[in-house]
Structure 1
Amino acid sequence: MPIEVRSALPHDAEAMAELLNRIISAGGTTAYRQPFDGAGIVSEFIEPKLGICCHIASDELGTCGFQALLWCDPDWTGPDKLPSDWAVIATYVDPDRHGKGVGRALFGCTSVAAKNAGVSYIDATIRRENTGGLGYYSRMGFVDYRSGGESVSKRFALK
């Protein structure tokens, strides 16, 4: 099945919410605990204030994943503040399509957008129990740089 990747648009939000809500309800692979509606997907991923890009992947069966990239929050006052030229990434792939190249196809587009935006590093902070996510980011070239009680932070160098 060929995978098509394009920029996500507001009319994609319902399908993206359905996918993310299935992942949330399964538990253990995302920090999100509450389900999303279409408006929440638009504000959090498709058109966020600090957004760089959001890509959606589809195949003949429909939406199979999405990936968003946002600038680090310059007003963050909590722990582990990141430099202003860093971005954070979030990836969601249909569990039935893991290992089918969806994440790789998404990251191909996201990394180009990151380079074009002038991002120096991409941060991926992953829950420890999300072994699939940890493996995915490692395969994409991310390396560990920080570890906490519940998560591991990996970074990808663009410069």
Structure 2
Amino acid sequence: MTTVPPITLRPAGMSDAAILAAISFEVWMHTYIRRGVSAAYAGYALDTFTAANLAAMLADPAEHVILSENEEGPDGFIRLTRNRPAPVPGCSDLEISTLYVQPRHHGRGLGRALLASGLDRARSLGAPSVWLTTNAENAPAIAFYLRQGFERIGTTHFHIGDAAYPNGVFRLTLDR
């Protein structure tokens, strides 16, 4: 019988910026690149997921990032962003802006552990609910959020270049 190592969670620090950039790039490309890398997608990923951008995000007091890590280093993270108006009515201003787990670590409970930790943080911030968006074609993520108690409450669009991609908007009301 294989023993699953315990999940270790910790707040991200400035020294984690490059790690967050690498995880973000890997997960985003794995999730959204289906048939080949277009110039628009390549440009977006290379411009967005940089250590400098992630360091700036970590320096922002409205951002809260929790990492999961194994014996070799971080393998996922959740990012909550305060004061972020939702694209649909009926939401608080606290967004789960990112929940990424490296694909090779799926199925170990990291997503659930990170989400639980993020929801604890949201409660400590006094948020009555959290919201998030996910690509309308990302069936595994949608199923995950629905299993965790989120409800789909609307649609918005994610823009890359001149293209707009439908995203579902999901909300979870927090118990106190």
TM exceeding 0.5: yes
Distance in 2 (alpha carbons) for counterparts of 1:125 and 1:144: 9
Q: Is the contact made by 1:50 and 1:73 (CA closer than 8 Å) also made in structure 2?
A: no
Larger radius of gyration: 2
Give, in whole Å, the separation in 1 of the partners of 2:130 and 2:124. 13
CA contact (8 A) 2:78 2:114 kept: yes
Name the residue aligned to 1:62: 73
Equivalent-residue separation in structure 2 for 1:157 and 1:123 (angstroms): 9
TM-score by length of 1: 0.83
Question: Hey, what does 1:143 align to over in structure 2?
Answer: 151
Q: If the length of structure 2 is used for normalisation, what is the TM-score?
A: 0.76
Q: What letter matches 1:112 in structure 2? A: D
Give the percent of matched residue pairs that are identical in Structure 1 and Structure 2.
25
- Structure 1, unmatched stretches of 5+, are none
How many positions carry a matched residue from both structures?
152
Does residue 95 of structure 2 align to residue 88 of structure 1? Answer: yes
Deviations 1:55-91 (A, max 9, x none): 00001232110001112435x8xx53665x4311020
Partner residue in 2 for 1:48: 60
C-alpha deviation, 1:49, in angstroms: 4.9
Show structure 2 runs of 5+ residues with no match: 34-40, 157-164
Q: Which residue of 2 aligns with 1:133?
A: 141
Root-mean-square deviation (CA), in Å? Answer: 2.4
Using the TM superposition, give the Cα deviation of residue 16 of structure 1 relative to its aligned residue in structure 2, in angstroms. 1.3
Q: How is 1:2-13 mapped onto 2 (pairs within 5 angstroms)?
A: 2-13=6-17
The answer as to whether partners of 2:101 and 2:110 remain within 8 angstroms in 1 is: yes
